[in-house]
Structure 1
Amino acid sequence: MTSPGSVDPELVDLSDARLFEHGEPHHVWQALRSYRPVRWQPVGGGSGFWAVTGYADAERVLTDHAGFTSTRGVFLNMLGREEPASNLQFSASDPPRHGKLRRPVQREMTVRAVRRHAESLQADVLRLLSPALDGGPVDFASITSALPMAVLGPLFGIPAADWPRLARLVGMSVAEDDAAYRLPEGVEATLRRAHRELFGYLLNLVLAHRRRPRGDLVDVLASMTVEGRSLSAGAVVANCYSLLLGASAAIPHVPNAALLELSRSGGYAEWARQPDLLDSGIEEALRWAAPARHFLRCATQDARMGDVAIAAGDAVVVWIGSANRDERVFADPHRFDVRRTPNRHLSFGDGHHYCIGAPIARLALRTFFTELFRRFSSFEPAGDVEYVRSTWLAGIRRLPLVATAR
């Protein structure tokens, strides 16, 4: 890792996706935590946001929903815009309305509810892993990219034939500045097309479910009433979209980040032969990957954070990849330690907005790593790694590895 002393924090532009095109800039995070853990980041056009890089401050912002609201958008690409899903989407609402939107969905997304799809998920994982069995180089990122829809597709009643198209549209929505997704017309055009096509697909899905309910997650959303009113089709679509975005981050990019590190360090075999460390290792992989790079909030009132005065209405962005490597919380934070405990990482957020899909993501990761350890004894790097260029998604676009089958 580059020395933090070589970084001038005043020159860092956290709004520029190019900062992240070679992976997580941990030398930048370390410099900011040491120099100015709450720092104003100007953005073109006269706007900006407070960048929060330390764990304690990040935890405060994420848990204090009265002081830092989610109703004005939760991603940096919403800075300076109206949030169209405000108070319609559980991720863009605050308590008490947040709980009313969230609770019925949360009941449907428990591990018990999802286990009815466990057998098909295992079969999908085995099918996805099969190209790595022949011993030749394989792009592991292409394998894991199909995981989110393999998990959510059955819950939403989405036909498997549509999964690749939806995966691409979600990619355009979360990594609009990446060359693999960006349209020639630019970032804004990419977002517009992704949202238009994805929302159109989801709206048709919702309307089809209303004509013929199937007893799945879409039906739960479509039948919900909040404060005496049924959710509109638009609100149902907004919440389906939020679930897809969350799954697209955690489920594929956590194993990618873990395998990259373990293939470089040689730690894969040690973890694979200790099944009792499966769960603690997955938590470490979540901390390590921090796939959702940031969460945006807006201050509802004047506040102080350390020696910094934050004004009501100011945008505040919590940088999860930095908080998860804070030396004051995690001993030896740049070491992948499958025995790490406690491990209160913030990869799923915290407080009322703790990721609603966390149980499903953990189940998917457990299934994936279980099958991985059963079938492969080692992984070796096999070429250059390419990262997703995005301010939000800390992902790997290309991960060439050679696997040794057991």
Structure 2
Amino acid sequence: MPDLGDPALFEAGGQYDRWRWLREHDPVHRHERGFWSVTRYADVDRVLRDHTCFTSERGTLLNLLGRPDPAAGRQLAATDPPEHDRMRAPLQKVMGMRSAAAYEPALVAAIDELLAPGLDGRPFDLAAAVRELPLALIGPLLGLPRDDRTRLLALVMAASAEDDPDYQIAGGPAATLRRAHRELFAYFLQLVRERARTPGDDLVSLMLSPDGGGMDPGAAVSNCYSLLLGASVTLPNVINSTVYELARNGGYRAWAQRPGLLRSGVEEALRWASPGSHFMRYTTRPVRLSGVEIGAGEPVVAWIGSADRDPAAFPGPDVFDPARTPNRHLAFGSGHHYCIGSHLARTALRRFFEALFAAFADVGLAAEPVRVRSAFLTGFKKLIITGVPRRGV
């Protein structure tokens, strides 16, 4: 049987068939490595939502299986309510004080710049281009120097795709993760200290200010890391997965010609890509899922990518339908841990697809794409496409 813990399965795109089989025949599956795989929408939603039975403080990703999570109780993603809610409140307040609309002109300009290489009708690597989009969004919000973007991009990829040889350092995945985490946290600690000495009008300065709740430096660092990683996981991989599917099945024109479907289409893109394929929790007490008893203290991996293809929740789940409503996907999680930056991601995705449809009447695949080797990150690291510029139509 294909192993859902093996990054090579995801690199080959084989996870969808495996998820389909598990949903139908073994929806709560005991893996030989000692974790439970949950693949149906209702069960995944419960695991993510029910913090009384499933804790996030013992590791939230498979790469932490069997090891304590050093971020437990310090990062939003690795902290349970009620402490989670106390940590979240000031950041939510801060983000509400800085409307994404203030940064949209710079974001739109960055998107136009990323698409520019394809405007002459020649093939270009969309995956390489949109890899920079998260920092085009988060950079101005956090006040990150533009010259730091290349270094930060490399560290983010190492932190989210440590099994991929293109991002791995000598010593293997564990060493790659340690180094990426250490350098990212050191970077943001320096940034937080600078903002404490010389405040600006960015989110970091607001986090530290009385108006933003006066976060301590450790909380501010953790929140900066979470925002950067969340954007870097979501934006490029939703775009790449969606454009690949639209180019592959000929559905690009159908969506591009219906601007009224932009919002519903972005929700469908999020469902389709489910860029963070899983999150892990540990049971705090015996629980029952789909008729299967799981004891207390057990690791449970909730496969978001599988839940978002469950036909019990999404009719025709293997068809990309930009008009799909309702669309209660789990790409941003569920419950208390629902992604705090979801509104920023939606804004960026809407702006991107607006610009893409304005620039190209159609797109096609110019080469076989290359997927990321990761059991967490769902997406492509190379996607060569050819656009049909509208000026030539």
TM-based fold match above 0.5: yes
**One-letter code aligned to 1:31:** W
Give the CA deviation at 1:111: 9.3
Structure 2: any 5+ residue segments left out of the alignment?
A: none
Deviation (angstroms), 1:16: 1.4
Residue in 2 that maps onto 1:337: 321
Contact 1:74/1:297, CA 8 A, preserved across alignment: yes
Deviations 1:315-353 (A, max 9, x none): 111001110010111111100001111111110111111
Q: Choose which of 2, 6, 15 in structure 2 pairs with 1:25.
A: 15
Alpha carbons of 1:123 and 1:263: their partners in 2 closer, same or farther (altered >3 Å)? Answer: same
Q: TM-score, normalised by structure 2?
A: 0.96
Residue 38 (structure 1) aligned to one of 6, 9, 28: 28
Deviations 1:44-99 (A, max 9, x none): xxxx2111000010011111011111112211111111122212111111111111
- What is the rounded CA distance, in whole Å, between the counterparts of 2:206 and 2:85 in structure 1? 15
Measure the CA separation in 2 of the matches of 1:370 and 1:306.
41
Cα distance in 1 for residues equivalent to 2:235 and 2:328:
19
Q: 1:296 to 1:180 in 2, by over 3 A?
A: same
Deviation at 1:161, TM superposition (A): 1.1
**Do the aligned partners of residues 290 and 111 (structure 1) sit closer, same or farther apart at CA in structure 2, a change above 3 Å counting?**
farther
Aligned residues: 390
Q: How does 1:177-216 map to 2 (within 5 A)?
A: 177-216=163-202
Q: Give identity over the alignment, percent.
A: 49
- Residue 145 (structure 1) shift: 0.3
Q: RMSD of aligned C-alpha atoms?
A: 1.7
1:42 partner SS = coil
Q: Determine if contact 2:234/2:276 at 8 Å carries over to the other structure.
A: yes
Pair 1:12 & 2:13 matched: no
Q: Is structure 2 residue 243 aligned with structure 1 residue 253?
A: no
The answer on whether the counterparts of 1:104 and 1:224 sit within 8 Å (CA) in structure 2 is no
Partner of 1:237: 221
Q: SS at the partner of 1:95?
A: coil
Per-residue deviation, 1:211? 0.7
Structure 1 residue 327 corresponds to structure 2 residue 327: no
Given that residues 4 and 15 in structure 2 are in contact (C-alpha distance below 8 angstroms), is that contact kept between their aligned partners in structure 1? Answer: no
Does residue 102 of the first structure (1) align with residue 88 of the second (2)? yes
1:103 Cα offset (Å): 1.8
In the alignment, the residues of structure 2 paired with residue 330 and residue 215 of structure 1 have an alpha-carbon distance, to the nearest angstrom, of: 42
2:262 matched to 1:278? yes
Q: Report the residue type matching 2:304 in the other structure.
A: I
1:271 is displaced (CA, Å) by 0.7
Cα distance between partner residues in 2 of 1:276 and 1:296: 37
Q: Secondary structure at the match of 2:35?
A: strand
For structure 1, the 5+ residue unaligned runs are 1-10
In the alignment, what sits opposite 1:157? 143
**Matches of 1:336 and 1:296, distance apart in 2:** 27
CA offset at residue 230 of structure 1?
Answer: 6.1
Q: Determine the C-alpha separation between the residues in 2 that align with 1:84 and 1:175.
A: 19
User: Residue type of the partner of 2:187?
Assistant: Y
Contact 1:253 1:396 in 2 (8 A): yes
TM-score (norm 1): 0.93
Label 1:224 to 1:236 Cα distance change in 2 as closer, same or farther (>3 A).
farther
SS in 2 for 1:39: strand
After superposition, the Cα gap between the structure-2 partners of 1:359 and 1:111, relative to the gap in structure 1 and judged at 3 Å, is farther
Which segment drifts farther, 109-118 or 309-318?
109-118
Partner residue in 2 for 1:5: none
- Report the alpha carbon displacement of residue 231 of structure 1 after superposing the two structures with TM: 4.4
Out of 359, 378, 381, the residue aligned to residue 394 of structure 1 is 378
- 1:54 and 2:40 equivalent? yes
Is the aligned partner of 1:349 residue 2:333? Answer: yes
Are 1:109 and 1:359, in contact at CA under 8 Å, matched by a contact in 2? no
Q: Distance in 2 between matches of 1:28 and 1:339?
A: 27
Does structure 2 retain, via aligned residues, the 8 Å contact 1:85–1:235? no
Partners of 1:220 and 1:38 lie apart in 2 by 44
Task: Map residues 62-73 of structure 1 onto 2, 5 A cutoff.
Answer: 62-73=48-59
Q: 1:85 aligns with which of 71, 95, 99?
A: 71
